[in-house]
Amino acid sequence: MQTPTKRGLKRERAKRLQELMRITPDRTVYDCAIIGAGAAGSVAAISLAKAGASVCVIDKNTEIAHPILATGAGACNLSNTNLDVNCYNAPSFVKGIFGPHAEQDIHEFFSRLGLLTTQKEGRIYPLSMQAASVQQVLEHELVRADAFALLGHEVVELTQEQTGAWHIRARFAYATSVDTNMLEEAQKEGSTRTRVDAEANAHADERASFKELRARTVIIATGTKHGLSFLPTDIANVTAKPTLCALACADDPILSHSGRRAQVVLTLDRAGKRVFREAGEVLIRDFGLSGIVVFNASRIAQAGDILSLNFCPHLHAEALFEHIARFIDTREGALKISASAQGEAKDVRYTLLTHALCGIVDPMLVESVLKRAQAHMQRSTKLPAHAHAPQSTGNDARTHLIQASVEALMDYELTVQGPAQTAHAQCWRGGIAREALNPHTLALQTHPSIWAIGEAVDVDAACGGYNLSWAWKSALVAAKDVAKALKTQKLGMPH
């Protein structure tokens, strides 16, 4: 079977957009409207539809659970074998929602959907190692559950009627020149809709770009990245900001080696106090650092923090010092250096040090390490007491050069300037304040017929499947409570 080309995929999306422009809901009143069809929203919709509720999910994207496709570098780290609540920014709150069997609940949900999983260092992935597998099983199940999806639309207004029902106004999100190009692409491939038709739709009367529907209950499942401006103004919100993203650092020679990777222990210090420490791989970029360990550090990093990289986390400073010294001595020992040849000796030692470092760290980074070592030597002829390198009774240039090199290898400092590449942040912190929610059901305290789940809530965690686990489990908890509320008729049916 021929693999779909990028052009072909673009053409299919263009055709889908054309269909979306003609979509009208099959009914105007639903038991539940779910705003956001990502990870949390799709699970809530499936759970409620299977419970017999009429459900409509509304999402700006043109696919169900579209954001999942970018998770886990395309593999989708969907959960973890150990969902430690201390990995979250609100352990007590998350513990109340997770209960004692969160891992099992998530596993059973996806098992019922037919998704097979595998584990890697405690992280759970789809057996295919493809995020598309997770996205597809969710989309297929949503269709089988007979839920309605209003895709390609973003909610702009949410108001409650006197009857208690919620009135939702959604705007077609692609009636702009951004997707006019895609419509033109479809037209070139034989679409019955002409370019004039596409432009007419893109610039149609504003009222024709909106859809309106009503629902007895509402679940907010949209990510805070896109804003929650449609919420009633009396709902407490925490300002959204990106997390799990790269970090920008002050200019440094090592940043010139963009694309190089290294296994390190990364630490953050603020006002002399250690606030973060984790081992992992960093990716050097021209603006700073990226990689999972950096993403985790970004959750607490602030401008001005001192970020330190230890390129030799499995070695003690004394052992590293002795290794370098022995490497130089065994190669320099045969040279009989007179007092008049000290300049030449210095050059030989520097060359031998360069060779020694090439066997310890990525050779591409050696020059930067040596520059940092020379900077240490220029600041002082003696390392400070907190330095990693051991103190020596010797006071010659050789000893100081090796000490400074050990210091640079085990404590390469960079100054954090702030988050970077926030458009690609894996998670956003903020959203509906936890204090505004029932800690057991996730219903709003002031609006008991609205629930908030997933990224809509001010909950975030480290990398490792924790954020998706929050999305899945919070959706299951809220959906169960919504179904109970509908079944017990606590909420009046709108007219």
Read off the pLDDT band of 181 (50, 70, 90). Answer: low
pLDDT at residue number 397: 77
- Give 52-79 pLDDT, tens digit per residue: 999 999 999 888 898 898 887 789 999 9
317-332 vs 397-410: helix axis angle to the nearest 10? 140
Q: What are phi and psi of 190, to 5 degrees?
A: 100, 15
pLDDT at residue number 344: 57
Rounded mean pLDDT, 360-377: 93
pLDDT tops 60 at residue 339: no
When mean pLDDT is compared over 162-166, 372-376, 469-473, the highest value belongs to: 469-473
Read off the pLDDT band of 389 (50, 70, 90). Answer: very low
CA 115-116-121 angle, to 5 degrees, is: 125
Distance CA 227, CA 442 (A): 19
pTM equals 0.80
Output the average pLDDT for the chain.
84
**Identity at 50, one-letter amino acid code:** K
Q: Residue 334: which region, alpha, beta or left (left: phi > 0; alpha: psi -120 to 50)?
A: alpha
For residue 71 the two structure tokens come to 């998770």
Range scoring the smallest mean pLDDT among 73-87, 122-136, 169-183, 369-383: 169-183
